[in-house]
Amino acid sequence: MPDKQKAGAVIYAVNITRMQEFYTNVTGLHLTYTEAENLILESDGMQLVIVKIPQDIAATIAIQSPPLRREDTPIKLVFPVPSIHEARSMAARYGGELNSVEKEWSFQGCRVCDGHDPEGNVFQVREN
């Protein structure tokens, strides 16, 4: 258990192992805790908890390939990355996608790009 609480987010997922592989490889978060129903990924300043959706509910969720973006939510997770180019490559390798270079933009001195994870959750990466 960490000595100090961190800001963080929780994602409910059908396949927590696939989501862990995606987020560790795309965002650089590190796996710090795991059990059958949840896991924790962390950086110095953030904690991402991935919780397995109960089987009876998961059975009603169809994730297409490629996944459809779940853009009907008011929340978008944001992750700093050293390279959007590298994050784009890792996202594609691990079942998600970042938008094309043409859809990147500048915000507060950073390059910014949206994408989605293997289950369609929209997120954003920012490169200094």
Assess if residue 2 is contained within a domain. no
Cβ–Cβ under 8 Å, residues 85 and 76: no
Residue 67 domain-assigned (yes or no): yes
Report if residue 14 sits inside a domain: yes
**Residue 70 structure tokens:** 């779940």
Quote the domain boundaries for residue 104: 7-127
Question: Does a structural domain hold residue 48?
Answer: yes
pLDDT of residue 2: 52
- The number of domains in the chain is 1
C-alpha to C-alpha distance for 33 and 106, rounded to whole angstroms: 35
52 lies in a domain? yes
Domain of 35, CATH number, reads 3.10.180.10
pLDDT tens-digit readout, 1-45? 556 788 999 999 999 999 999 999 999 999 999 999 999 999 999
pTM for the whole thing? 0.92
